Amino acid sequence: MANSAEKIIEANGIDLCTQAFGNPADPAILLIHGASASMLWWEEALCERIASGGRYVIRFDNRDTGRSVSYPPGRPGYTLADMADDAIGILTALGIDRAHLVGRSMAGGIALLAAERYPDRVASLTLVSTSPGGPDLPPMSKEFTDYVDAGGPDPADPAAVVEFIVGLLRIYAGGSPHYDEAGVRALAARDVARTRDLASCLTNHFVIDFGALTGLRLDEITIRTLVVHGAQDPVFPLAHGEALCRLLPQAELLIMPRTGHELPPSLWDTVVPALLHHTSQTSAPH
């Protein structure tokens, strides 16, 4: 199994930083992370474990994260639909006709839009800690909203940004026993050090246009889907994952017990085999 170095590629007309793990001849899995999170939050050890199961794993920095293209703070100039086009553009740039998409948190919407717009390119979906949205679903926890509403760190102070991320991920854990503060701090420090523009990273994903999701018909997305959700998720409580599973015609639900808005290493022994099984049974091309 060979891991490639990080590589800047042109996809969908922009520069995106990517990294691949495993054998390109194996079925491809594209990992897409959520708001303000670079590809580092798909931990290298997780990518290697998935690749060792016979998958070609690609992770990448979304726009305004890591080493990918950045835009002025508060003026991203792109939409969530553009980010779905980015995901497929990466596959095209890498010569991959069809891949399994894994979308986490906000990137669940990116993966769903990609599946709607490019069904022939998506072999399966895995949606982690995400939501279909809707007024009847339970709200985010007060602890989470209070933390976010209190205002973010000064982007000119990298140490403050690291501490903000550490605190945020502590809340994401929802009181679960999986939170590893030392590990989170080390990863946050690496992430902050390689981010092109911290102000843009902290801001832009929260002001982009999500309008493409408004007309999204989940009942028309017939691609096989695995919904993975923490039982104690404080951002999208479990009812969000359950609703997503009901709305998608070919979905099954994997509940992670005593887990928040996270994908902790202590649960990889459960999640990785489930993902490998799921991606061994591809949907038929449309």
* C-alpha closest to that of 88 among 120, 54, 127: 120
The pLDDT value recorded for residue 281 is 76
Give the C-alpha separation, 209 to 213, whole Å.
9
Residues of the chain with pLDDT under 70: 1-2, 282-286
Helix ranges (H only) for the chain are 44-51, 80-93, 107-117, 142-149, 158-172, 181-194, 198-203, 238-247, 268-278
**pTM (2 decimals)?**
0.96
- State the Cα angle at 64 between 163 and 175, rounded to 5°: 35
26-40 per-position pLDDT tens digit: 999 999 999 999 999
Which residue ranges form the domains of the chain, and what is each CATH number? 7-278 (3.40.50.1820)
SS3 64: coil
The pLDDT value recorded for residue 286 is 47
* Burial (CB count <10 Å: 0-12, 13-18, 19+), residue 103: buried
Give the C-alpha separation, 248 to 253, whole Å.
11
The pLDDT value recorded for residue 282 is 60
* Alpha-carbon distances, residue 173 vs 99, 235, 255 (angstroms): 30, 10, 15
